[in-house]
Structure 1
Amino acid sequence: MNIHFIAIGGAAMHNLAIALKNKGYQITGSDDAIFEPSLSQLQKNGLLPENLGWFPEKISENLDAVILGMHAKKENPELLKAQELGIKIYSYPEFLYEQSKEKTRVVIAGSHGKTTITSMVLHALQYHHFDTDFMVGAPLEGFDCMVKLSSENDFIILEGDEYLSSPIDSRPKFLHYHPNIALVSGISWDHINVFKTEEEYVDAFRNFIKNITSGGILVYNEEDETVVKLVDEAENYFRKMPYKTPNYETKNGKTSVETEMGQIPLKIFGKHNLLNLEGARLICNQLGILDEDFYEAMMSFSGASKRLEKVKRNDDVILYRDFAHAPSKVKASVDAFTEQFPAMKKVGVLELHTYSSLNPAFLPKYKNTLAQLDEAVVFYDLEALKIKNMTPISPELIKDSFGKENLQVFTNADDLKNFWQNLEKSNAAFLMMSSGNLGGISLT
């Protein structure tokens, strides 16, 4: 097949492009901006466009399909040309479904934890030489590409995102997948630029559950009231498999989980990660991985990229970074960090980067999320607000919303860099939380 990618530089898009080239497809692509790691990966695989920009002449009747990324606009000249010629246009979740219609589709969904759970499942499968197709949203140790598509594998593991599919398809991505086996890790209102009310957001997950194939399986977090409500009201037929936080122990900075085989030491930590572990275990059970084999693999699992990822740890400095940006994610990461390092001074830096986190109406949901930290900093870039045409936010509103008296607020990257460079870093544990780049400060 000849396929052209509009916005090939996206995190998911460039991985899909590489996977399809590895499958033997002819791939071309365009984008007006490509950043690392997409740039290096595309260049390495011979897929980096010669020039940045949009070129309608790349779109011809010789193409079998166009895959459209979220970075493009509805008026994109390449998209308009493809529509004019009547070429089939897919969003990347649509195309993933087309590639997996004959496979058993395992879809991991939830407002938080889905990347980690998907990564745990893939780590266990790889550890035991279980070959499968997959798509995961973060780099994973031992995997060169975050998408794999084959003709021979029976299963595909998909991280199910609730965000929009493409500029011309406003359906949540995970509604395209029609899972045979599904997992929902939790539901907490996010993406408020798309889901204007909490009920709209919950409806997306309600529809996801409706899309489970007849006779399929749903693994779900029974500690989440909203998830339980949706499961109880679902009218379609599927097998229900609830999970909850297992018994575990954190001692001297080491976490172990209690199992029928005894205490199993882990590299990960935090209540939310132990809850993720249980969900991953049940998914792996459905794929034929026994508990003892699952825990054997998990002993070497160090986490997904930027999910409580260790950057530095020695006798007097502990530094972790985390993708946390939504309130539920921030609270879970701070709680885990506090439990893991109870005797140390704990300092947290949070960047507000997404449309939701920068919305004044959404800010009160961050109340007390940083409360357990000894010192906390919130950073957001005033220039980013202008670029996004968003309402200006005052530092006073930030402090009031978070409800932390000694909270420091920075609105300029240079001020944050100066603070970080001059900060006494010995005998403390640092948690850096952002879905952006923290103003460009160096963590090493």
Structure 2
Amino acid sequence: MNVHFIAIGGSAMHNLALALQQKGYQVTGSDDEIFEPSKSRLKSKGLLPEAFGWFPEKINSSLDAVVLGMHAKADNPELLKAQELGLKIYSYPEFLYEQSKHKTRVVIGGSHGKTTITSMILHVMNYHEREVDFMVGAQLDGFDVMVKLTEENDFIVLEGDEYLSSPIDRRPKFHLYKPNIALLSGIAWDHINVFPTYENYEEQFSIFVDSIVKGGSITYNAEDEAVTRVVGASANTIRKLPYTTPEYTVEDGETLLETPEGPLPIEVFGAHNLNNLAGAKWICQHMGVDEDDFYEAIATFKGASKRLEKIAESNTSVAYKDFAHSPSKVQATTNAVKQQFENRTLVACLELHTYSSLNADFLKEYKSTLDAADVAVVFYSPHAVEIKKLDVVTKEQIAQAFERDDLLIYTNPDDFKAFLFAQDFKNKSLLLMSSGNYGGLNFDEVKTLIQ
């Protein structure tokens, strides 16, 4: 099969391209810019475009399929040529469904936790040498790719993102997978540039539950009110299987999970991650892994990349970085680190970096999210607000939104760095939450703070 990728350099797109090449397909692609690590990974397999830009001459009738990435625009010259020739054009999720329609599709959805839960499931399967196809949104230890597609594997595990499929397909990705086995971890308003009201956002999850294959199942977080409401309201003829956070204790910075065989030390921590673990356990059991085997494997799971990732540790201090940016994730992550190291001072730093987090109307959703931190810091770039063509956000608006009088707010990267490097981190925990890098912060330098 001959497949061309428009916008091949994206995190998801380049992984799919690599997976198809591994499967024996002929793969080509274009992009106007490609960053690391996509660039090196494509180059190593001979898939890096010879020149950056869009080249309609690459599009011809010999192509069996064109995969269109979200980074491309609706007036992309290659896309227009493909439409003119009447070629089959797929969005990323459409093509994944096409590759997996004869498999048992396991789809993990939710505003938060889906990458971690998907990663946990894949870790357990890998630990027990059970081969499955997959697509996950983070690089995992022990895996050299984020997408794997074969002819022979029975199961495919898909991280079900609610963001849009492509510039010409405005449906959320997870509406297209038609799961046999699904999980829903939580619903908390996000992506307000696409879903302007909470009601509109929640509706996408109702559509997801209704898209499950008849006779399939939804494993859902019964502690999330919105999830319970959405699952309960669905008339789809599926099994509805609730899960809750398991019992656990924290002793001297170590989390012990209660199991039928007694307390089990695990690497991940925090109520949010333990809730994720409970969901992952039930999905693994649906896939044929018994409870004892799950516990044996999950004890060695260290977490998904950029999700509560430990970057430095000493006898008296620790530093984590986390992808958290939406209010629910920020609160869960902050609470988790404080609970794990309750006798240490927690310095929690949040960068407001995404479209939603820099929206003046959305800011109020961050109320109380940093309350567990002893020292709470917010960094944002007025320049980023300008680039995103949003209304100006002031320090006063941020302070008012978080409802915390002692909140420290920085807009200059040098000032933020000066604050950070002036701290004595003895008997402290440092938590850096961002989908960016605080205007150019070097995380390797941050590691030197933890002595």
Asked if these proteins are the same fold (TM beyond 0.5), I'd say: yes
Within 2, Cα distance between the matches of 1:121 and 1:170? 29
Counterpart mapping for 1:380-419 below 5 A: 380-419=380-419
C-alpha displacement of 1:427: 2.8
Within 2, Cα distance between the matches of 1:379 and 1:34? 27
Give the AA of the match of 2:80: L
Q: How many pairs does the alignment contain?
A: 444
Q: 374-383 or 261-270: which moved more? A: 374-383
Aligned partners of 1:3 and 1:27 also within 8 Å: yes
Within 1, Cα distance between the matches of 2:396 and 2:214? 52
Listed one character per residue, the Cα deviations across residues 214-263 of structure 1 (whole Å, up to 9, x for unaligned) are: 10011000001111111111111111110001100011000011111111
C-alpha displacement of 1:198: 0.5
Within 1, Cα distance between the matches of 2:404 and 2:46? 50
Counterpart mapping for 1:341-356 below 5 A: 341-356=341-356
Secondary structure (helix, strand or coil) at the match of 1:336 reads helix
Within 2, Cα distance between the matches of 1:282 and 1:258? 16
Secondary structure (helix, strand or coil) at the match of 1:257 reads strand
The corresponding residue for 2:313 is 313
Gaps of 5+ in 2: 445-451
Listed one character per residue, the Cα deviations across residues 259-278 of structure 1 (whole Å, up to 9, x for unaligned) are: 11111110000000000000
Within 1, Cα distance between the matches of 2:386 and 2:5? 30
Within 2, Cα distance between the matches of 1:407 and 1:40? 41
Give the AA of the match of 1:31: D
Q: 129-138 or 78-87: which moved more? A: 78-87
C-alpha displacement of 1:184: 0.1
C-alpha displacement of 1:413: 2.3
Secondary structure (helix, strand or coil) at the match of 1:439 reads coil
Counterpart mapping for 1:28-427 below 5 A: 28-427=28-427
Secondary structure (helix, strand or coil) at the match of 2:71 reads coil
C-alpha displacement of 1:419: 2.6
Gaps of 5+ in 1: none
Secondary structure (helix, strand or coil) at the match of 2:443 reads coil
Give the AA of the match of 1:229: R
Q: 390-399 or 46-55: which moved more? A: 46-55
Moved over 6 A (4+): none
Within 1, Cα distance between the matches of 2:49 and 2:417? 34
Within 2, Cα distance between the matches of 1:374 and 1:35? 37
Listed one character per residue, the Cα deviations across residues 162-199 of structure 1 (whole Å, up to 9, x for unaligned) are: 00000000000000000000000011111000001111
Secondary structure (helix, strand or coil) at the match of 1:406 reads coil
**Cα RMSD (Å) of the superposition?**
1.0
Listed one character per residue, the Cα deviations across residues 108-127 of structure 1 (whole Å, up to 9, x for unaligned) are: 00000000000000000000
Q: 155-164 or 366-375: which moved more? A: 366-375
Within 2, Cα distance between the matches of 1:437 and 1:139? 18
Within 1, Cα distance between the matches of 2:90 and 2:108? 22
Secondary structure (helix, strand or coil) at the match of 1:52 reads coil
Within 2, Cα distance between the matches of 1:263 and 1:171? 44
C-alpha displacement of 1:443: 2.0
Aligned partners of 1:346 and 1:429 also within 8 Å: yes
Give the AA of the match of 2:372: Q
C-alpha displacement of 1:78: 1.1
Secondary structure (helix, strand or coil) at the match of 1:14 reads helix
Give the AA of the match of 1:427: N
Give the AA of the match of 1:24: G
Within 2, Cα distance between the matches of 1:219 and 1:300? 24
C-alpha displacement of 1:393: 0.5
Listed one character per residue, the Cα deviations across residues 72-94 of structure 1 (whole Å, up to 9, x for unaligned) are: 11111111111111111111000
Q: Structure 1 length as normaliser, TM-score?
A: 0.98
C-alpha displacement of 1:132: 0.4
Give the AA of the match of 2:297: A
Q: 200-209 or 316-325: which moved more? A: 316-325
C-alpha displacement of 1:129: 0.5
Give the AA of the match of 1:326: S
Aligned-pair identity (%):
60
Within 1, Cα distance between the matches of 2:30 and 2:437? 25
Give the AA of the match of 1:315: N
Secondary structure (helix, strand or coil) at the match of 1:119 reads helix
